[in-house]
């Protein structure tokens, strides 16, 4: 199965995580029945769609909640590599696109991870060159996305299929699909190597404002009520079982980060911009970042009812086999934290872990 193959080998993005093995946790029993973790290894991306972990780390919200637990991080370029690191035990938790989380869940036969919270919604578009004015203009052209099997790749392939363009897993078809680093898509578009790209923010806005492209598809238009999960928080199943209190503290740090982002949107934007620039070594224009920021929003709700749709899309394009998603969510700790903060709980839409 391709999902397993995509996650079978740890690639370059995993290198640093392997060096951060924290060793065994201290054997002190907490009030949830597990043991507090000595360390937590967290993965995330240098994208605006990962503003939750970027702010949570920069402002110290996670550290404040985790107390004596040592937090280490690793930045990844794409979901499949990050999920390889998680399933191989090199990460304990990660912010990732829902399709990559889904692929990892299927590849591990439902035993590798749990989605424990949402993080970001929206912020993905298909941006194309000026001469592409209709779907018909795409025939014989090449489109880019971050990586085979990631969230944007599945979205692009399924959309193309709906337009009558089938693509092979090798990327060839009536429209070729070429995995490319997000930061390279501007050069590829300008030189005519690609006709467009389905990418997350801020890279979509960069193609519009710096590359002269225009939006052919805003992914929001494809979802009920215009809302879809772009980033979720996943935790390795064994880590969650052993250290539920530590995961609860991680979630509480996220709640604090998202509350601060919501209350301080301009400060948050500037902070995330500076960190993305520093992490990617790609300086983006203020106008690009301002547009990108407006395209996405933080949310603790993983929009669980959309995952069945994500699976059906992945199955339709040949990236996954149909499978049960029962137990892929464990929102117990999130709902406990939300309730304690006086906020409404969120739904797992029947896909929650058995009690």
Q: Which domains does the chain have, with CATH numbers?
A: 2-122+230-340 (3.40.190.10), 124-226 (3.40.190.10)
| Span 208-222, pLDDT tens digits | 999 999 999 999 999
Task: Report d(CA 289, CA 291) in Å as an integer.
Answer: 5
Written as six digits, the tokens of 301 are 């709700």
Residue 2 is predicted with a pLDDT of: 42
- In this structure, the number of other CB atoms found within 10 A of the CB of residue 88 comes to 17
Starting at the edge strand that comes first in sequence, how are the strands of the sheet with 142-145 ordered?
176-179, 142-145, 196-200, 124-128, 214-218
The contacts of residue 192 (CB under 8 Å, 6+ apart) are: 129
Residue 33 is predicted with a pLDDT of: 54
Does pTM surpass 0.95? Answer: no
Residue 11 is predicted with a pLDDT of: 32
Residue 224 is predicted with a pLDDT of: 80
Task: Report residue 182 CA to chain centroid gap.
Answer: 14
Residue 355 is predicted with a pLDDT of: 56
Cis peptide upstream of residue 202 (ω within 30 degrees of 0):
yes
Q: Which residue ranges of the chain lie beneath pLDDT 50?
A: 1-32
Greatest CA separation found in the chain?
63
Residue 334 is predicted with a pLDDT of: 98
138 HSE (CA, 13 A, CB side):
27
Residue 13 is predicted with a pLDDT of: 33
Residue 31 is predicted with a pLDDT of: 44
Residue 88 is predicted with a pLDDT of: 97
Task: Report d(CA 41, CA 16) in Å as an integer.
Answer: 11
Task: Report residue 137 CA to chain centroid gap.
Answer: 30
The size of the chain, in residues, is 355
Task: Report d(CA 282, CA 275) in Å as an integer.
Answer: 11
Segment (H or E) for 183: none
């Amino acid at each position: 199965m391709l999902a397993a193959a995509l996650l079978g080998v740890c690639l370059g993005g995993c290198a640093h995580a392997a060096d951060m093995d924290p060793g065994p946790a201290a054997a002190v029993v907490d009030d949830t029945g597990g043991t507090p973790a000595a360390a937590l290894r967290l993965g995330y991306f240098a994208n605006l769609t990962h503003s939750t972990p970027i702010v949570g780390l920069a402002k110290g919200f996670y550290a404040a909640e985790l107390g004596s637990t040592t937090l280490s991080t690793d930045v990844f370029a794409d979901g499949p590599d990050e999920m390889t690191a998680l399933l191989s035990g090199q990460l304990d938790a990660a912010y990732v696109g829902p399709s990559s989380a889904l692929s990892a869940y299927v590849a591990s036969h439902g035993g590798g991870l749990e989605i424990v919270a949402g993080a970001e919604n929206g912020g993905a578009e298909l941006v194309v060159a000026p001469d592409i004015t209709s779907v018909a203009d795409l025939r014989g052209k090449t489109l880019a996305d971050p990586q085979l099997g990631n969230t944007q790749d599945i979205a692009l392939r399924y959309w193309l299929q709906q337009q009558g363009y089938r693509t092979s897993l090798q990327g060839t078809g009536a429209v070729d699909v070429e995995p490319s680093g997000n930061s390279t898509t501007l050069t590829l578009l300008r030189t005519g190597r690609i006709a467009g790209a389905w990418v997350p923010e801020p890279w979509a806005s960069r193609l519009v404002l710096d590359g002269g492209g225009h939006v052919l598809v805003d992914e929001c238009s494809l979802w009920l009520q215009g809302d879809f999960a772009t980033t979720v928080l996943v935790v390795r199943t064994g880590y969650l079982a052993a250290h539920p209190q530590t995961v609860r503290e991680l979630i509480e740090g996220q709640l604090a980060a998202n509350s601060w982002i919501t209350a301080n949107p301009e400060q948050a934007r500037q902070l995330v911009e500076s960190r993305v620039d520093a992490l990617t070594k790609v300086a983006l224009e203020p106008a690009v970042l301002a547009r990108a920021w407006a395209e996405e929003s933080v949310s603790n709700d993983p929009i669980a009812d959309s995952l069945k749709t994500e699976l059906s899309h992945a199955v339709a394009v040949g990236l996954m086999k149909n499978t049960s998603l029962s137990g892929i969510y464990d929102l117990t700790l999130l709902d406990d934290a939300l309730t304690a903060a006086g906020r409404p709980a969120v739904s797992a839409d029947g896909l929650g872990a058995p009690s």
